[in-house]
Copies of this chain bind each other. A is one copy, B any other.
Amino acid sequence: MQTQTKPRVRANQTATAVLGALSVAPMTGYALREAIRDVLGHFWSESFGQIYPTLAALERDGHVRRLGAVRTRASTFEITASGTSRLKEMLAQPVQPAPPRNGLMLRLFFGRQLGAPACRALVREARADAERNLARYQAIRMQLLDEEDSAGDHPYVLLTISAGEHTARAAIAWADQALAELAPLDSHDEETHRQGANDAAPQTSNATEEA
């Protein structure tokens, strides 16, 4: 009987990201993808297949304006006043959490089937990823300080960077602990294919591994 309050519009999140990016600076669709990948990449992603239709829809609704000619060449998009207020509207909508799908955790959960050495390799990989991310966050931090323009956004952007750093550091600490706990689990409770014995040192990235 809950037919009355259907959330009809599924809150086109792509539009939010696109309008948000255009609120910082006008861009082409191509540049939008790059900006989203490079700047929001830690927590957001969009593909061309989403961006172009979304831009077309936003143009139709008057939320963005096309500066170049329609098909002749690259057209830069600019957010309109109506687009800005639409953006604020969308940002104010409640966060709808994406259903979780963490492949690493799934594998570790059934780690007994996978075997301890493979699990260690996965954890080591995750640790390396986290370290890479941490390094990138610092680079972005410094890059931010160079930019005079859009300085009003800085405090908010730094919030997201900081979240990334906290997450990355937590991942590293967890990985170290996990590796210590996985170490003694070597070969008991597993009748694994014996050929797996030599991958105790998987060498994911010559990652200075233990083994």
Interface residue ranges, A against B (CB under 8 Å): 13, 16-17, 20, 23, 40-45, 84, 87-88, 91-92, 95-114, 118-119, 122-123, 125, 152-153, 155-160, 162-163, 166-167, 169-171, 173-174, 177-178, 181-182, 185, 189
Query: In the complex the two chains form, is A178's CB within 8 Å of B159's CB?
Result: yes
When distances are taken between beta carbons in the complex, the residues of chain B under 8 Å from A114 are: 88, 91-92
Selected contact of A109 from candidates B88, B104, B156, CB within 8 Å: B156
Cα–Cα, bound, A119→B17 (Å): 17
Query: Chain B nearest CB: distance from A179 CB in Å?
Result: 10
Query: In the complex the two chains form, is B45's CB within 8 Å of A163's CB?
Result: no
Selected contact of A20 from candidates B20, B110, B173, CB within 8 Å: B110
Query: In the complex the two chains form, is A109's CB within 8 Å of B40's CB?
Result: yes
Selected contact of A163 from candidates B95, B166, B174, CB within 8 Å: B174
Query: In the complex the two chains form, is A159's CB within 8 Å of B108's CB?
Result: yes
Query: In the complex the two chains form, is A91's CB within 8 Å of B105's CB?
Result: no
Selected contact of A160 from candidates B92, B109, B171, CB within 8 Å: B109
Selected contact of A110 from candidates B87, B110, B171, CB within 8 Å: B87
Query: In the complex the two chains form, is B20's CB within 8 Å of A111's CB?
Result: no
Cα–Cα, bound, A87→B23 (Å): 47
Name the CB-closest residue of B to A84.
B113
When distances are taken between beta carbons in the complex, the residues of chain B under 8 Å from A102 are: 43-44
Cα–Cα, bound, A107→B13 (Å): 11
Query: In the complex the two chains form, is A156's CB within 8 Å of B108's CB?
Result: yes
Name the CB-closest residue of B to A14.
B101
When distances are taken between beta carbons in the complex, the residues of chain B under 8 Å from A160 are: 105, 108-109
Name the CB-closest residue of B to A104.
B95
When distances are taken between beta carbons in the complex, the residues of chain B under 8 Å from A185 are: 155
Name the 9 nearest CB pairs between A and B, nearest first. Answer: A111-B156, A170-B170, A43-B102, A43-B105, A95-B103, A166-B174, A45-B99, A20-B110, A166-B170
